Amino acid sequence: MNIAIKPHEHEQHQLGFVRRYIFSTDHKVIGKQYMALSALMAIIGGFSAYIIRWQLAWPESSVPGWGPIGPDQYNAIVTMHGTVMVFFVAMPFLLGGFGNFLIPLMVGADDMAFPRLNAMSFWTQCVASLVLIASMFAPEGPAAAGWTAYVPLSDNPIYTGVYLGQDLWILASALEFASFLMGGVNFVTTALNLRASGMTLMRLPLFVWMEITAAVVFLLSVGPLIAAAIMLLLDRRLGTSFFRPDKGGDPLLWEHLFWFFGHPEVYVVALPGVGIMLEVMPVFARKPIFGYKMIVYSTIAAGLLSFIVWAHHMFVSGMDPRLATPFSITTIMISVPFAIIVFAMIATLWRSSIRFSAAMLFALGGLASFILGGVTGIFLGSQASDIYMHGTYFVVAHFHYTMFPVTFFGGFAGLYFWFPKMFGRAMNELWGKVHFWLSSLFFNGIFIPLFLVGIGGSPRRIYELSSYDMLKPLQPLHVIATVCALGLFAAQIPFIVNLFYSMVRGKVAEKNPWHANTLEWTLDSPLHHPNFPVPPRVYRDPYEYSVPNLSEDWLPQDQPPSLVEAATAAR
């Protein structure tokens, strides 16, 4: 067989600035590009959250830095907030960012299976982001039918008054799907084909398992939504009747097709964040992960089950009530694998030597909040209680208590953890802890009131409560939530300063500052191209911490057994 190992290093030096940094095919650069892009989009997502919160707390006033908000504009901003946060922040950051950066390193490969496809996936996501931003400048404004784009609100422009904006939203979503299809293909192929010698599937870091499962779930769930998006676009532009009841269409078809994708999608977003927590916790507890195999099987089970729970979003949609019970059952079932994973994390922490670094704090805080979020899902998963809760702020609080911890807290845990590897310098731990405590405090301060608002009966997606007498007593809760939201935004300032300062003036980090076992920590920081000057050889799983009779409390995956024996003998 004709194996030509490309002389990478020479190639890289000959590439110009553009090829090397802008259109780079190096997975580490692409990972950082994804992170930068999602950070920019997070500004938009966060700013829209600011507008929403201000409007809800003080509806009479004009939002500082924006202007007065009417109901139509409110709908558009809510739509943008959801769309941007799910598709343009969470997914690119956790999958495109961390996935790209870490998967090749963790499996022991020099790059992704398809580096050019990887670059293309990033640039497609860029174009998608630009299209979405452009939609905000459309004549009637951006899409205003919610991130779920229910028909006929999204289908017939007369309802929202938005013409071009909604079409551009469809286009941006389609491009985003294309980008993640390309990325997903890369992740799965790389993890299956490019593993280093000795890296069996059961020795993969759990983060990689999570990313692959997320990629597969995405790949299999996105199809029907692409079909539905095409149908929606045709309805809007060519006058087809897929979803128009007056012409024989069925609005419920959209809901089914959307949520068939929409529910697996939230696990696509959640699993990588959980994966980050699963990497961070053993390192700062100096203890092996409890129940590696159970976690893997639970992840796969959760991925499979995620395909048969979707109609719990539709209990009150008018769908056939006979579908409600089966979907309630499957929804309750899906809490089991997640519970197993949570129990495994807790068992990992049990009787361990926890070091409360910034990364660990974020992982722990994320776990705690995620448990609360998961538990509140049970009320929504049973059709009886959902009749009351659906469409209220209880739902909003529930999904922010699940998505936010895994993406925000999980994401920051990952950032503080892998920053030394990405940039060769250390972030300031003290300010990291300040960032955590403030964020955690304010995050809970926003959403616990919202649970109460929801139970109090307030529907979501309404731009102010004053028209409803029964909701007026809930107004102070909105004020509390908004004040905490402002606090949450302010709490990000120490992080931003810390991030940029540390990138250029942070203390130079050693190769393996956390004494972790996975392969990326065996390499110099920052990393070179190719990743592994010598092909790694893997001998064990990545969670061998505090192994008895060894001089160190960590045992890297690529440490040959002979050296381990020597270390043991030396004691």
Partner 1 sequence: MNETIDVRRESSLYMLIWAWLVFLLIAGLVIFVLPVPRTAAVILIFSLAAIKAVLVLRNYMHLKHEHLLIYLLVLTPALLFLGMAITLIPDIVYRHHLGLGG
Partner 2 sequence: MAAGAQSVSAIAETDHLREIPAGKMAVWIFLASEILVFGGLITGFVLYQFAHGGFAADAAHVKWRFGAFNTLVLVTSSMTMIMALASARADDRRRVRTYLFLTILLGCLFLGVKGFEYRGEFREGFYPSSGMFWSFYFGMTGLHAMHMMGGIVINLMLLIAATRNVSSEFLQRRIEYGGLYWHFVDVVWIFLFPLLYLT
The distance from CA 272 to its chain's CA centroid, rounded to whole angstroms, is 7
Q: Which of 114, 388, 489, 501 binds partner 2 (CB under 8 A)?
A: 114
- Cβ atoms of 77 and 48 within 8 Å: the answer is yes
| Piece of 3-11, 144-152, 331-339, 348-356 that binds partner 2 (CB under 8 A) | 3-11
- Cβ atoms of 497 and 516 within 8 Å: the answer is no
**Residue 518 backbone phi and psi in degrees, to 5:** -70, 160
CA torsion 501-503-506-510 (nearest 10°) is: 170
The site partner of 242 among partner 1, partner 2, none (C-beta below 5 to 8 Å per kind) is: partner 2
The site partner of 288 among partner 2, partner 1, none (C-beta below 5 to 8 Å per kind) is: none
- Cβ atoms of 41 and 92 within 8 Å: the answer is yes
* Residue position matching structure tokens 């700013």: 47
Min dist CB 180 to partner 2, Å, is 10
Structure-block tokens of residue 81: 């907030």
If the CB atoms of residues 224 and 424 are measured against partner 1, the closer one turns out to be: 224
Min dist CB 421 to partner 2, Å, is 19
How many CA atoms, within 13 angstroms, populate the side-chain half-sphere of residue 274? Answer: 33
Instruction: Report the C-alpha gap between 60 and 162 in whole angstroms.
Output: 25
Instruction: Report the C-alpha gap between 87 and 403 in whole angstroms.
Output: 13
Site for partner 1 contains 253 (CB under 8 A): yes
| Piece of 271-279, 312-320, 446-454, 488-496 that binds partner 1 (CB under 8 A) | 312-320
Site for partner 2 contains 155 (CB under 8 A): no
Q: Which of 219, 274, 349, 397 binds partner 2 (CB under 8 A)?
A: 219
Site for partner 1 contains 114 (CB under 8 A): no
The distance from CA 248 to its chain's CA centroid, rounded to whole angstroms, is 38
The site partner of 265 among partner 2, partner 1, none (C-beta below 5 to 8 Å per kind) is: none
If the CB atoms of residues 48 and 559 are measured against partner 2, the closer one turns out to be: 559
Min dist CB 226 to partner 2, Å, is 5
The site partner of 328 among partner 2, partner 1, none (C-beta below 5 to 8 Å per kind) is: none
| Piece of 83-91, 282-290, 326-334, 529-537 that binds partner 2 (CB under 8 A) | 529-537
How many CA atoms, within 13 angstroms, populate the side-chain half-sphere of residue 45? Answer: 19
Total number of residues that touch partner 2 (CB under 8 A)? 61
Q: What is the DSSP letter of 531?
A: S
- Cβ atoms of 154 and 244 within 8 Å: the answer is no
Q: What is the sign, positive or negative, of the torsion defined by CA atoms of 206, 207, 208, 214?
A: positive
Min dist CB 104 to partner 2, Å, is 9
Query: x/- string (CB under 8 A) for partner 1, residues 182-221?
Result: --------------------------------------x-
Total number of residues that touch partner 1 (CB under 8 A)? 19
The site partner of 322 among partner 1, partner 2, none (C-beta below 5 to 8 Å per kind) is: partner 1
Q: What share of the chain is helix, strand, coil (3-state, %, to 5)?
A: 70, 0, 30
- Cβ atoms of 134 and 233 within 8 Å: the answer is no
Centre a 10 Å sphere on the Cβ of residue 130 and count the other Cβ atoms it contains: 12
Min dist CB 226 to partner 1, Å, is 13
CA torsion 189-193-196-202 (nearest 10°) is: 80
Q: List contacts with partner 1 (CB under 8 A).
A: 220, 223-224, 245, 248, 250, 252-253, 256, 260, 307-308, 311, 317-320, 322-323
Q: List contacts with partner 2 (CB under 8 A).
A: 1-6, 108-115, 117, 181, 184-186, 188-190, 192-197, 219-228, 230-231, 234-235, 238-242, 247-250, 253, 257, 530-532, 534-537, 560
